[in-house]
Amino acid sequence: MSRRLRTFSSKLFGTMAVCALCAGAFGCGSGDQQTAAKPAEPAIPDDVQAAATALLGRDTTVLAYGDLAKTGTRQLLAANLVPKTPKDTVAGTIITRAVIAEDTPEGWHELVRCDEHLKNAKGYLGGSPIEPVSGWKLQFEKTDVQGLNVYLIPIKGTLDPHVLPLALRWNSAAKRYQTLDRNYEHFLPEAASLGPARSHF
C-alpha cells in the first residue's frame, strides 16, 4: 500500500471513529432526557380542594379523590397532616383530623369524620376508642374491587407499633363507611352517637 493510500485510510478511520463517538454521546443524552421526563402528578380539581378546605380548614391535604367507594359518585379523603419525625417507627401519615366526603347534587356531604373520635352519621364507629385521642396514624389503599381502604391507629401519648390498625371501608349493603373486625372480614355496628357526623355546606 502506498504512503498516500495509507494516509487517506488513517484519516478516514479517524473521521468514522469521531462520528461514532458523537452519535453515541448524542444518543445517551437523548436517553437521559427521556428518562428524566416523567409525567406530572394530576392536579387536585379546584372544587375538590375547596370542599376539603371547607371541611377541615386551610391546612388541608387531599389524599385521594374519585370514585373511592365504587358507587359511581365522586368522593374525597382529606386530612390535616402532622410533619413526620425521625422517631416514627410505624409507616403511615400522622394526622390530627380527616374526613371522607361525597359529592352530591346538593353539594359535598361529610360521610366520616376522624378527629378526637371516629364517627359517621350513625355514631361512633365500632372498635374505635371511646376516649378522645390527639392524633392518628393513617394509611390507605385503593383497589378495583373494594375501593378505598383506610387503616387508622390512634395515638395516645406513645404509639405502640404492635397495635393493629382499625380498618375502614365502604359497606355496600349499609351504604356507608364502617369499620371491620380484627380479621377484616365483617363490618362492625356503630355505637351510640353524641351527634350526627354528617354536615352540609
Q: What is the mean pLDDT of residues 28-55?
A: 73
pLDDT band at 86 (very low <50, low <70, confident <90, very high): low
Q: What is the percent of the chain with per-residue pLDDT over 90, rounded to a whole number?
A: 59
Q: Given a cut of 80, is residue 180 above it in pLDDT? A: yes
Q: Is 119 exposed, middle or buried (0-12, 13-18, 19+ CB in 10 A)?
A: buried
- Structural domain spans, the chain: 1-38, 46-179
Contact 166, 152 (CB under 8 A): yes
Per-residue pLDDT at 196: 46
Q: Given a cut of 60, is residue 60 above it in pLDDT? A: yes
Per-residue pLDDT at 138: 95
pTM for this predicted structure: 0.73
DSSP 43-111: PPPHHHHHHHHHHH-SS-EEEEEESTTSSSS-EEEEEEE----TT--S-SEEEEEEEEEEEETTEEEEE
Contact 176, 122 (CB under 8 A): yes
Contact 85, 172 (CB under 8 A): no
pLDDT tens per residue, range 19-33: 444 444 444 444 444
pLDDT band at 5 (very low <50, low <70, confident <90, very high): very low
C-alpha 11/C-alpha 17 separation (Å) is 10
